[in-house]
């Protein structure tokens, strides 16, 4: 298991966000949840996030904008980001912006935990 980390979950569905957070908490991680890109940017700006799980298909601004914010902010540019989406159109754009890994919706919790561990080991 990886060392516990501070993880941002950007997900507009509160039930999905809770499910993801509960699963990551079992591994000792501390989750910070955001339902919008604005909320995510506020959390990220505090400087304590070590990994971000970013839903792409959000109302208003998309998760791509959160990823772009991370990659354009020097203190956040190396923070790993796992893109979470059911829409494959976002995958190429997210790759171009530097997404580390991809998780397809509906989220498989076991796969999510494995990808999080992989990202944290690599960072």
Structure tokens of 55? Answer: 């839903």
Does the reported pTM lie above 0.85? yes
Alpha-carbon gap, residue 87 to 49, rounded angstroms: 25
* Bridge partners for 51 per DSSP: 7
What's the chain's average pLDDT?
A: 93
| For residues 66-70, average pLDDT | 97
Summarised one tens digit per residue, pLDDT across range 19-44 is: 999 999 999 999 999 999 999 999 99
In CATH, the number for domain 6-122 is 3.40.50.2300
Backbone region of residue 110 per phi and psi (left: phi > 0; alpha: psi in -120 to 50; beta: other values): alpha
Question: Which tokens belong to 15?
Answer: 């039930």
For the chain, give every domain's residue range.
6-122
Q: How distant, in Å, are the alpha carbons of 49, 80, 92, 110, 119 from that of 62?
A: 19, 18, 14, 25, 22
């Amino acid at each position: 298991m990886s060392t516990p980390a501070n993880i941002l979950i950007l997900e507009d569905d509160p039930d999905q966000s809770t499910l993801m957070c509960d699963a990551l908490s079992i591994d000792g991680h501390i989750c910070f949840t955001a339902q919008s890109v604005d909320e995510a940017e506020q959390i990220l700006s505090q400087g304590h996030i070590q990994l971000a799980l970013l839903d792409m298909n959000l109302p208003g601004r998309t998760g791509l904008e959160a990823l772009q914010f991370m990659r354009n902010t020097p203190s956040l540019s190396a923070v790993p980001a796992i893109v979470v989406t059911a829409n494959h159109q976002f995958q190429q754009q997210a790759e171009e912006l530097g997404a580390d890994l991809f998780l397809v919706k509906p989220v498989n919790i076991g796969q999510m935990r494995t990808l999080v561990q992989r990202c944290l080991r690599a960072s």
